[in-house]
Chain A
Amino acid sequence: MSEALAIKDPFGKATTGKLGMWLFIIMDGLSFGGLLIGGAALRATAPSWPNPGDLLNIPLTGFNTFLLICTSFTMVMALNSLEKGSQSGLKKYLALTLAGGLVFLGIQVYEYYHFILDGFIPSTSIYAAVFYSTTCFHGLHVLSGVIYIACILYAANQGRYTAHDTDQVEILGIFWHFVDLIWIFVFTVIYLI
């Protein structure tokens, strides 16, 4: 094929799979946007809105937020290890990320459990409805992420990835960082303000 006919691709060297994941997180972000803006609209028109600090355990969730940010760091380290050719590093950091995700979910379940014991359930108030729908939707993303990491860890254990074939790990990273980033928004909107 002649040079002139070659297609100029504005997305450079990004693999097709990576583009697919980027598109997915844009769409997913719009869903979160719908939930968060919907919540904000309800709040703006509601006759009263509780102060989240009075109802929620902010320090515990603050720790959870910190933990999730740490897993983003371990995810970066996992990719970094693979790029340096360290299979053991890849597996170690993936496992750490997985563990961090599980602890996050555990704390969320613990939080829900105590709320439900205290009688704070989705039908209690419009705030509770917004709280549960948004955090649960995010929690399902963490759960999907944890399963996703487990699958990639399994494949890594079989030596599927090399320093020259990092695409799958990078794609996983995009998703996981997205889940973290969204949590920052959810935490701010639902817990802090």
Chain B
Amino acid sequence: MSEHHEQTFWTKYIFSTDHKVIAKQFLWLGLFFLAFGGFQALLIRWQLAYPEQPLPWYLLGNLFYEGGLMTPDHYNVLFTMHGTIMIFWAITPMLIGAFGNFIIPLQIGAPDMAFPRLNMISFWTMFLASIVLLASYLLPEGAAAGGWTSYPPLSTPVGGIAGEGQTLWTLALTLAGTSTLMGAINYIITVVRMRAPGMTYFKMPLSVWGLWLTSIMNAIFVPIIAAGLILLLLDRTIGTQFFIAGGLATVEGGDPLLYQHVFWIFGHPEVYILILPAWGIVSELLSVFSRKPAFGAKVTVICMCTIVVLSSIVWGHHMYTTGMSPLLGKAFMFLTLLISIPSSIFFLNWLGTLWRGNLHFDPPMLFAMGVIWVFGLGGLTGLYNATVTSDIYLHDTMFVVGHFHYTMAASVLFGGLAAIYFWFPKMFNKKMNPLLGKIHFWVSFIPLNYVFFNMMVLGYAGQHRRLYNPSEYEFLAPISDLNISITIFAIILGFSQLIFAYNFINSIINGEKAEANPWKANTLEWTLEGPIPHGNFATTPTVYNGPHEYSNPAVKDRDWIAQSEPMPT
């Protein structure tokens, strides 16, 4: 199926329809925004530790603000755009855009995606969305400032933000959603249609399962938020008042709560949209680096599917404080707490995979095990947010911020980093420096836990999540030292990512050539000698074994067997 026509620079690297090239494009885009959004987090932290003091030289304050001083308006832009960028422009392109594209066709033995041209358009739509988003910074009033959730009336021009930054935010998010939907069509149909002979659903690697379920959720929930964003856009542009009510409205009948419902009908599943690929990848990596079959792989898949279903009916837990009827609140609480059952089961499956395994602590494994820890903490602290009584106290505090950074940021990011360290040799045909990788893990893991754990402490002490200046409140005075130490650790965390940046770029340029199967893994992509041509497999592989047949006693002399290799009898 490989194509042999001549390719110019443009068709090979820029407007390529090759899923491997598009994967790299998404990866670069994601890494760029990860750095950008991460840097904004440091600015936020500086303000919380040293309120209204000029930013230091190493945070480049003078570049952005006059005299390095951040105003409340700047601060609003920072936390809004930090959240938006990290979720939709950093994690989404990295996990779903880059690894979805790279892994799915290679692991199921397909020559490419089902719709290669749509795939290319998907990336360039995302690129356009990025330009719209970045352009909003150049507006006189600055970028969006209504929080990443952009609740009306904060996000509506009447009584909220008049600047066009919020309008561009809405437009950029609609475009990014369109890009995601194109990707979702591709991923879903590719898995349904293009699996190699023998690749039954339960022989698909768990990474593919995670990405596939994520795409199904994207296909269901992104269209709903798109409808909501269109209405918000109309409110901002042509004067409709869908989400404006009370004294702000000039016509009767608008409803700001409708936006919250629409947002969270999408927004809660979005958490799982982001985490399912990471879960899949972690489940697979734990098996590879424990040299054992993934414990209860089928049960893990069933749990993931259960979570997909449950996650679509729990959105109300974000709205306990909106005057929701107590009965409805209890129903949402019950459904939300139900999610902990499948989550715990496959959490135990992870531990089961590690149990008595022949553990290899390579960088991908360290990050995968890091996910177990941070996701465990994130999941447990979620219970306090899911329970109505404790959530009413914790709502909109730093506790929530710490919690969702553990689940969404830390777990997904570590999953993504594990994936980068694991698939780098296949993507770039070069080795990464393992020692720097291990250092990178520890200098990320320790400060990260310090930062996010103590954010929850701050929240418990009552610090509001979007507070500009905590020093204005007497009751927050006892935790001002904690605010400072969190910021110091956040800065360490931020700057230690330079080790990764150096390792990543240096390995691409100067790295040693990688062998075809450096991790001795079973899945199909490792049977290919790099660089993999457009069209992937010279002959379509036939699949005989499951993806996690490590240390199978039937195989002599080695502890792995490629999925396309008949099992010796």
Which residues of A does B touch, CB under 8 Å?
1, 5-7, 9, 11, 16-17, 19-20, 23-24, 26-28, 30-35, 38, 41-42, 45-49, 121-129, 132-133, 137
Given A34-B223, A45-B255, the answer on whether A16 and B193 have CB atoms closer than 8 Å is: yes
B256 to chain A, nearest CB (A): 11
List A contacts of B542 (CB < 8 A): 1, 5
List B contacts of A46 (CB < 8 A): 252-253
Query: Is the beta-carbon distance between A23 and B239 smaller than 8 angstroms?
Result: no
Against A, the Cβ 8 Å flags (1 = close, 0 = not) of B239-263 are: 1111000000011111100100110
Given A42-B258, A133-B230, the answer on whether A123 and B253 have CB atoms closer than 8 Å is: no
CB of B114 closer than 8 Å to a CB of A? yes
CB of B199 closer than 8 Å to a CB of A? yes
Query: Is the beta-carbon distance between A35 and B234 smaller than 8 angstroms?
Result: no
List A contacts of B234 (CB < 8 A): 122, 129, 133
Query: Is the beta-carbon distance between B254 and A122 smaller than 8 angstroms?
Result: no
List B contacts of A121 (CB < 8 A): 239
Query: Is the beta-carbon distance between A126 and B241 smaller than 8 angstroms?
Result: yes
Within 175-199 of B, Cβ neighbours of A (below 8 Å) are at 181, 184-185, 188-189, 192-193, 195, 197-199
How many angstroms between the C-alpha atoms of A49 and B223 in the bound complex? 27
List A contacts of B192 (CB < 8 A): 9, 11, 19
Given A7-B200, A31-B227, the answer on whether A23 and B255 have CB atoms closer than 8 Å is: no
How many angstroms between the C-alpha atoms of A20 and B185 in the bound complex? 6
CB of B59 closer than 8 Å to a CB of A? no
Query: Is the beta-carbon distance between B227 and A38 smaller than 8 angstroms?
Result: yes
List A contacts of B231 (CB < 8 A): 35, 38, 133
Within 258-293 of B, Cβ neighbours of A (below 8 Å) are at 258, 261-262
* Nearest opposing residue in chain B for A124, CB measure: B251
How many angstroms between the C-alpha atoms of A28 and B253 in the bound complex? 26
B185 to chain A, nearest CB (A): 5
Partner of A30, one of B118, B224, B250: B224
Query: Is the beta-carbon distance between A27 and B253 smaller than 8 angstroms?
Result: no
A16 to chain B, nearest CB (A): 5
Given A33-B224, A34-B262, A126-B242, the answer on whether A23 and B219 have CB atoms closer than 8 Å is: yes
CB of B228 closer than 8 Å to a CB of A? yes
List B contacts of A38 (CB < 8 A): 227-228, 231, 242, 258, 262
* Nearest opposing residue in chain A for B254, CB measure: A126
Name 9 interchain pairs, CB-CB below 8 A, sorted by A: A1-B542, A5-B544, A20-B185, A23-B185, A27-B223, A30-B220, A34-B228, A35-B227, A47-B252
Number of B residues whose C-beta is below 8 Å from A?
A: 43
Query: Is the beta-carbon distance between B189 and A126 smaller than 8 angstroms?
Result: no
How many angstroms between the C-alpha atoms of A191 and B253 in the bound complex? 19
B236 to chain A, nearest CB (A): 12
How many angstroms between the C-alpha atoms of A148 and B193 in the bound complex? 25
CB of B408 closer than 8 Å to a CB of A? no
* Nearest opposing residue in chain B for A23, CB measure: B185
How many angstroms between the C-alpha atoms of A30 and B265 in the bound complex? 12
Partner of B253, one of A1, A19, A125: A125
In this complex, the member of B199, B220, B224, B240 whose beta carbon has the largest number of chain A beta carbons within 10 angstroms is B240
Within 423-442 of B, Cβ neighbours of A (below 8 Å) are at none
* Nearest opposing residue in chain B for A18, CB measure: B189
Partner of A123, one of B185, B226, B239: B239
B257 to chain A, nearest CB (A): 9
Query: Is the beta-carbon distance between B220 and A137 smaller than 8 angstroms?
Result: no
List A contacts of B227 (CB < 8 A): 31-35, 38
Query: Is the beta-carbon distance between B219 and A26 smaller than 8 angstroms?
Result: yes
Query: Is the beta-carbon distance between A31 and B242 smaller than 8 angstroms?
Result: no
List B contacts of A28 (CB < 8 A): 223
Q: Knowing that A31-B224, A34-B227, A129-B242 touch, tell me 17 more A-B residue pairs with CB under 8 angstroms.
A: A5-B542, A5-B543, A7-B199, A9-B193, A17-B115, A20-B114, A20-B189, A23-B189, A23-B219, A27-B181, A30-B224, A34-B224, A38-B231, A38-B242, A48-B253, A122-B239, A123-B240
List A contacts of B115 (CB < 8 A): 16-17, 20
How many angstroms between the C-alpha atoms of A32 and B226 in the bound complex? 10
How many angstroms between the C-alpha atoms of A5 and B224 in the bound complex? 39
List A contacts of B118 (CB < 8 A): 20
CB of B238 closer than 8 Å to a CB of A? yes
B179 to chain A, nearest CB (A): 13
List B contacts of A42 (CB < 8 A): 242, 253-255, 258
A144 to chain B, nearest CB (A): 13
How many angstroms between the C-alpha atoms of A119 and B133 in the bound complex? 35
How many angstroms between the C-alpha atoms of A19 and B220 in the bound complex? 16
List B contacts of A9 (CB < 8 A): 192-193
A26 to chain B, nearest CB (A): 7
Against A, the Cβ 8 Å flags (1 = close, 0 = not) of B404-446 are: 0000000000000000000000000000000000000000000
* Nearest opposing residue in chain B for A49, CB measure: B253
A41 to chain B, nearest CB (A): 6
Given A123-B238, A133-B240, the answer on whether A19 and B189 have CB atoms closer than 8 Å is: yes
How many angstroms between the C-alpha atoms of A6 and B195 in the bound complex? 10
A156 to chain B, nearest CB (A): 21
Partner of B241, one of A7, A47, A49, A123: A123
How many angstroms between the C-alpha atoms of A34 and B230 in the bound complex? 11
List B contacts of A126 (CB < 8 A): 241-242, 251-254
* Nearest opposing residue in chain A for B237, CB measure: A122
How many angstroms between the C-alpha atoms of A47 and B250 in the bound complex? 14
List B contacts of A34 (CB < 8 A): 223-224, 226-228, 262
List A contacts of B219 (CB < 8 A): 23, 26-27
How many angstroms between the C-alpha atoms of A11 and B241 in the bound complex? 44
Against A, the Cβ 8 Å flags (1 = close, 0 = not) of B125-142 are: 000000000000000000
* Nearest opposing residue in chain A for B200, CB measure: A7
Against A, the Cβ 8 Å flags (1 = close, 0 = not) of B84-118 are: 00000000000000000000000000000011001
B423 to chain A, nearest CB (A): 25
Query: Is the beta-carbon distance between B200 and A48 smaller than 8 angstroms?
Result: no
A23 to chain B, nearest CB (A): 5
How many angstroms between the C-alpha atoms of A34 and B227 in the bound complex? 6
Query: Is the beta-carbon distance between A6 and B197 smaller than 8 angstroms?
Result: yes
List B contacts of A11 (CB < 8 A): 192-193
B250 to chain A, nearest CB (A): 8
List A contacts of B220 (CB < 8 A): 27, 30
How many angstroms between the C-alpha atoms of A23 and B181 in the bound complex? 10
B144 to chain A, nearest CB (A): 22
* Nearest opposing residue in chain A for B259, CB measure: A38
